[in-house]
Structure 1
């Protein structure tokens, strides 16, 4: 179960759950199509998640990092993720 993070948008959870279910490399457009969100918005949120260490991005192909997998597996403290909020 993924914990509630204050700076996550609802799309962030959907993005992470997509990669949890399909551990593949995918573009933000493919992810947006599969989670039924606007592709421009998903691209923006994936860049935020990439900056926070959840994804790598190789020429537009996003893949979960070990940190992203650990978060999805409940192995990362919420406080650690909360501290990644750059808007504060």
Structure 2
């Protein structure tokens, strides 16, 4: 997990909305390209899900991670 992963998950959770990589990028100060790369990793880990083409939401697993109920060692996310 990276600092960006935490920021993306927090933004999705705090907003309560389904967001696009572009909106996430603007609100987290990361590039859209980097946000898209990290979203792919977060999807692989089950922390984010693609709702429709180009929009994403946090999963229950993602919420568990944010409150500290999920150990990052269990995630085994690819570091890109």
Please give the range of the TM-score, normalised by the shorter of the 2 chains: 0.7 to 0.9
Q: Could you tell me the TM-score, scaled by structure 1's length?
A: 0.78
Which structure has the larger Rg? 1
Paired with 1:34 and 1:73, the residues of 2 have a C-alpha distance of: 21
Q: For residues 48-85 of structure 1, give each alpha carbon's deviation from its aligned partner in whole angstroms, at most 9, with x where no partner exists.
A: 1111101110211100111111111222123312xx23
Structure 1 unaligned runs (5+)?
1-7
Deviation for aligned residue 1:18: 0.8
Map of 1:67 onto structure 2: 61
* Equivalent in 3, 10, 28 of residue 35 of structure 1: 28
- Compare the two structures and name the one with the higher helix fraction: 2
TM-score, reference length from structure 2: 0.85
- Where do 5+ consecutive residues of structure 2 fail to align? none
Q: Over the residues paired in the alignment, what is the CA RMSD in angstroms?
A: 1.5
Matches of 1:40 and 1:28 in 2, distance apart?
A: 8
| Structure 1 position 85 matched with structure 2 position 71 | no
Aligned length: 78
SS of residue in 2 equivalent to 1:25: coil
Alignment partner of 2:17 out of 14, 24, 48:
24
